[in-house]
Structure 1
């Protein structure tokens, strides 16, 4: 019974912060001088600081751009001290300060309750992660999820969403490994198509293998992409935006928030989008209709509920992708030799694919006392692929009548009819207790995940050939394609994966500046389903540990950290020719990382720098017809820097750099041994954005923005059999001009200023968008 006795040795500080006209002063920071403790004032104007050692302190309320206020407070054991503040500014003035960008580093706020599944400050968290805010998405006039991710260091697109069943979402390279966006608010949120940015509050890119808290089914060894959606708040507010641009872009979005009762306990927020856009190529388009309501209900100070939903309907053509023949030596190894015209789509607007997606999330939060809280969450998602998916695959030999100077590709089309249903149930308990003088922040959780994949689509049928000299022998009418597909028999399937997990994490504060994170997951995986053969039904159990150490040489300003992180992947058994079944253990990735995090000059500068070393072991190698060894290895090492700065009011800077060295160390396939994996992407990447908004004078509210991305050479094919096809390094620059006042905002943006021709790929080739102009008008109420 040590904890209750020790808890009586600390006190609590709570209070309210209001403006001069009696309104709540949201977003004001409360700090306790001489300690790392503090709090942020919520939308009701309340704050609370727990577990304060008895003594006399100076308590300060501050917001960049306003004069700070301080009061002396005496904290006694087992007593709550009440300290209220009244700011000299009224609510209108406070909102002007916040809207104008004078709040601390509006692009650099990294505080998150999702990364560690507990309210842990970035400086206290030994894991590295990047955050892309909704403010940055607005300022850059971003209309696509792919463009938003360009603001996170170390992540690069491999290929655009294809829309096909099972894995139709976009692929990205992160720390040398392919990853897809699979998480919404820390819960499964799958899609077979693209994502809309209308309901995004922030995007969190978690770096490194994160199996301990997020399992194995939805993550990559490189990290996790988590989308945090917009939530309701207790004041009426709204915004309607119209964006028009090059290639037929017409986009309307709406964001309306309103309390539904006088006590402001029942809150509703609705986001919606209507998006039409053509391709920059000779054919291709996409149409998106999006609706996302969110409802919260606060029963009392202990119990609250939150329900989020997203309904996305999209239809369009999948992007033109050239798949090189991977079984023979490349005929060409450069873009100039290939002779591809990036304006050619080799598709038809009659052959479209639909990707309706539904995500539903419900959570119940209960506070037992000041030390313990409970969160119960349920998530359901459905992602569908309905329609035509096509790709171009290089033929394996020269054909009569085609000049040898140009490659020839066969076109293959299928009629997709696939559905993926996911269910996730979580129960999390968070505690904040003390044993003696040592503070423990505890997470204990249970998780059940189910994924059912149903596929009733056709097989692939050949529909003509495409020559890079410009010849296309295919008939792309829907009637003809349907007639060809009648003989392309599919293989209907209905499979299911189930995962039962338990996890625990303890952040141990030995002192206010020295802490350790100790975490462990037990994960039981089952593979089966209605159509699964007996040999495909198996189960595996894995342990996934995580350790971290953080020391703050300067409390709440500078921390140095080190971590060990683990990720794992389940490996299916192998059936030999003699009928024997060989069972394997899960494949594991282990990361060692060290670095530093900074939050300096009243949050005007936030930065993270780190070096990581990831080893993937236990990969299965086939040495002969019936001989397997589970001793394959991959290595991925690198350095990353992530910086956000607000050196003077109105000036905001973000910048990032990443360097990654990846290699296949041990494999039975000589094609890959000693080579950089094709999923690893470019070795060096840089991202930057700088904007300035005038805060005073006749042009108050007027601003400029400039930035872009650099990527080094990318080996999209790198095998002994094929040789190397490398995409050249590129730099893409963007610029914007904007005028933002209280009731409206106007933005003009030019993407790819220099009209740079560049490509992405992963054993594939995909042309990227040339110069594009966008104009955006927002009305706020």
Structure 2
């Protein structure tokens, strides 16, 4: 028998960390020298300064109306004075982040860090933003694509057991990992969404913010690696309309509409509506997407000091599930057709309804209040086939399972913000509270393993009759979570450009899981905990272009697990997890804020990490209907992160990221089976990097053309060993690294009052085959085993035609 193993392409070598730091420090010294030589010329020739109340931030000069400029007389010769007629200059201020025609890669502020409009250069935190121009240039239609532009963020695949998570609906969407720890909680305009919202549509997304490190002080239950905040498009006073048609590989067809402006002649009533329809197949067999998304928004400006907005979102998604099964033989990945889906046709249907009401009032120049309330209902129905490695030599086995999910959440938040002085010190005080409630109900049933006829070495989909689900296998899972918190934060501006930040949060958490099978009574194990967590930071703006900062943060929140469970050996509820972090870094801004660099070192420690107890260790049982979990006592993540984004020269935009992350177990679990001290945590590559650059031609005869490209690199990582033997657990499997190359070209021009643009993107230009994260399963006595992961997308093309008015 001829057996061929999968051979990943040899990854590029990254320069050493010490060399990277040397290059970065050299840039920090040389860039201000070049900036000082260029800035005075730009300021005189093409910049104007905002009034003092706008913090004297320079902005690009408004674009001059071509007709008005052509009609104005010009001096006939040197030394001759000509009096020009008064003319009106019109244009869009390019630093308005909500301007639909804004082309900036750098945003001046990000509210995720402090919930205030504090400039990033005055915030002692590491906050990164992905602007809408980046999303446009890269044709981003999913969250994982956007997060490639932020250092220290990767995507981790779920194992097959993750489908027990009632919010995931059985869909194998990868989970973002920030600074080594998975983050399944997302925020929308600083307000909590349901967990596992990584699959949300992007037609109404303005930008994406990532706050590095624990963010629990302002947001409660958040993984310590960081939080992801989705900033949505807001109603605008100036009418704007956009129609975008995208088409690409694997029969991708996506239409999106964006419209905003006043309602009729009412300047105090603004609307915005975003719509998208996406239909596509996949490079993987039996996988498809059919999605409809609509997001209306209405804003009523009651007075210059008071406004209220109502936002709604509806998403209906039908798709084909892919478990991501990867065949392995004697510990190596087999080379099989990359398109082959080892499961069978597994339809999934999801519906999500979201509503939000926000109102704000400005009492005076110093004090304001803002209140939000949201309701979210999500439903999912799945009819799935899970492939498993052969129990005996020969045929891959499957399990037929049905999942029905219903999840309801509602949450509210109130913030009071004040600005005042005490003894010459300027304060920005934030007082607030929040409450979050989740009801998650899951009904599931499955069949024993059966063999549909797929040969392990020669896979072919053969006709088969699936066994029927039996009533005795039906299981009901229910989870109720309540959390509320009170917090206070003070930002103080001291002399000599020193900025202090300090805050405290009190958080209370209550959970009531309930599990029972069809013939068994329900059992519940309620738990409740509370804690007070601090956050302190200091920043010194040594120069207008240079800030140095440090912070210390703690967090507290529930362990997020794939299914309701208890601790092995004690049957006690899984305790909350906590974390603490020290961070030091520096930020630079050049060319009036159009180019920003952030360099940071962090030391993050997380405790009480829940791990599913592998069944094949022979230690399972004794947990009743609940899943058994072990606790890794402590894990530490240390690393260096570099982010560079912005405009180097007129028309030349760039994004560069690098992260070197070491995540290791420092205190193992009490059984000694998992988490030996010094062991690298699974699913986290040590080295990651990305580069993206575009150039819009400035020459008159080429104006409107744009070209660009990028590179994404991810180093080796350890796989998660799921349901395996102790010998394999102590001998972890390494997942090969990869790199992909992308290209873009576009052309735009004005056609009457409209702007028309065409664009073509190519992803994975070199057509590399790779996997992002693996969960390795057991093997039979013949060495036939398997893993679960996300198959990397091969070379793809995506075209776009857009009309804006």
What is aligned with 1:405? Answer: none
Paired residue total: 687
Q: Please say if 1:614 is aligned against 2:621.
A: no
Q: 1:564 matched to which residue of 2? A: 552
Q: 1:501 to 1:96 in 2, by over 3 A?
A: closer
1:629 Cα deviation from its structure 2 partner: 11
TM superposition shift of 1:474:
7.1
Q: Structure 2: 5+ residue runs without aligned partners?
A: 1-46, 65-84, 517-521, 614-618, 624-628, 776-787
Change in 2 beyond 3 A, CA 1:671/1:438: same
Name the residue aligned to 1:649.
650
Identify if the C-alpha distance between structure 1 residues 772 and 28 changes in structure 2 by more than 3 Å, giving closer, same or farther. farther
1:334: how far off? Answer: 3.4
Aligned to 1:195: 200
Q: Pick the aligned partner of 1:755 from 746, 751, 767.
A: 767
Which of 147, 150, 154 lines up with 1:149 in the alignment? 147
Corresponding position: 1:773 with 2:797: yes
Q: 2:168 maps to which residue?
A: 167
**Matched residue, 2:187:** 183
Asked whether the 8 Å contact 1:177–1:679 carries over to 2, the reply is no
Per-residue displacement from partner, 1:336-358 (whole Å, max 9, x unpaired)? xx233311012444x31012112
2: distance between equivalents of 1:665 and 1:61? 48
**Corresponding residue for 2:748?**
740
Q: CA deviation at 1:529?
A: 6.3
Question: Would the aligned equivalents of 2:509 and 2:557 in 1 still touch at CA under 8 Å?
Answer: no
User: 2:651, 2:697 within 8 Å by CA — same for their partners in 1?
Assistant: yes
**1:367 and 1:318, CA in 2 relative to 1: closer, same or farther beyond 3 A?**
same
Residues 46-89 of structure 1 show CA distances to partners (whole Å, capped at 9, x for unaligned) of xxx6xxxxxxxxx686425779xxxxxxxxxxxxxxxxxxx987
Contact kept in structure 2, 1:105 and 1:604, CA below 8 Å? no
**CA deviation digits over 1:394-433, x for unaligned, max 9?**
35x5x14x3xxxxx64322321110111111111101111
Does the 8 Å contact 1:519/1:545 carry over to 2? yes
Q: Which of 494, 499, 510 is matched with 1:515 structurally?
A: 499
The yes-or-no answer on 1:542 pairing with 2:538 is no
1:501 is aligned to 2:485: yes
2:276 to 260, 273, 276: 273
TM-score, with structure 1 as normaliser = 0.81
Change (3 A) 1:263 1:348: same
- Is 2:309–2:357's contact at 8 Å kept on the other side of the alignment? yes
Indicate if the aligned counterparts of 1:158 and 1:679 stay in contact, CA closer than 8 A: no
Shift in alpha-carbon separation, 1:294–1:102, aligned structure 2, 3 A: closer
CA contact (8 A) 1:672 1:720 kept: no
Task: Report the Cα offset of residue 390 of structure 1.
Answer: 3.5
The 8 Å contact of residues 514 and 525 in structure 2, kept in 1 or not, is answered as no
Q: Distance in 2 between matches of 1:424 and 1:202?
A: 23
**1:422 equivalent in alignment to 2:409:** yes
Indicate conservation of the 8 Å contact 2:251/2:281, yes or no: yes
Structure 1 residue 692 and structure 2 residue 695: aligned?
A: yes
In the alignment, is residue 705 of structure 1 matched against residue 708 of structure 2?
yes
| Shift in alpha-carbon separation, 1:440–1:316, aligned structure 2, 3 A | same
Mapped pair 1:464 → 2:451: yes
Counterparts in 2 of 1:277-426, with a 5 A limit? 277-322=280-325, 332-335=330-333, 338-349=334-345, 351-395=346-390, 399-400=392-393, 402=394, 409-426=396-413
Deviation, 1:115, is 2.5
Give the distance between the partners of 2:273 and 2:143, measured in 1 at CA.
Answer: 19
CA distance in 2, matches of 1:280, 1:446: 46
Q: Is the deviation greater in 358-367 or in 673-682?
A: 673-682
Alignment gaps of 5+ in structure 1: 1-26, 33-37, 40-48, 50-58, 68-86, 325-329, 403-407
Q: Contact conserved, 1:105 with 1:646, CA < 8 A, in 2?
A: no
Q: Distance in 1 between matches of 2:384 and 2:128?
A: 33
Instruction: Say if 2:184 and 2:197, in contact at 8 Å, map to a contact too.
Output: no
Deviation string 1:197-224 (CA, Å, 9 cap, x unpaired) is 11110111121121111112xx222111
Query: Structure 1 residues 277 and 604, CA, compared in 2 at 3 Å: closer, same or farther?
Result: same
- TM (normalized to structure 2)? 0.79
Question: 2 CA distance for matches of 1:296 and 1:311?
Answer: 18
Deviations 1:82-118 (A, max 9, x none): xxxxx9874554479999x999971121512233112
Deviation digits for residues 580-600 of structure 1, max 9, x if unmatched? Answer: 886786331111000011112
Return 377-386 or 729-738, whichever deviates more: 377-386
Tell whether the 8 Å contact from 1:284 to 1:348 is kept in structure 2 after alignment. no
Structure 1 pair 699–415 and aligned structure 2 pair: CA distance change class (3 A) = same
| Counterpart for residue 443 of structure 1 | 430
Q: Assess, with a 3 A threshold, how the Cα gap between structure 1 residues 345 and 584 changes in structure 2: closer, same or farther.
A: closer
Q: Retained in 2: the 8 A contact 1:463–1:475?
A: no
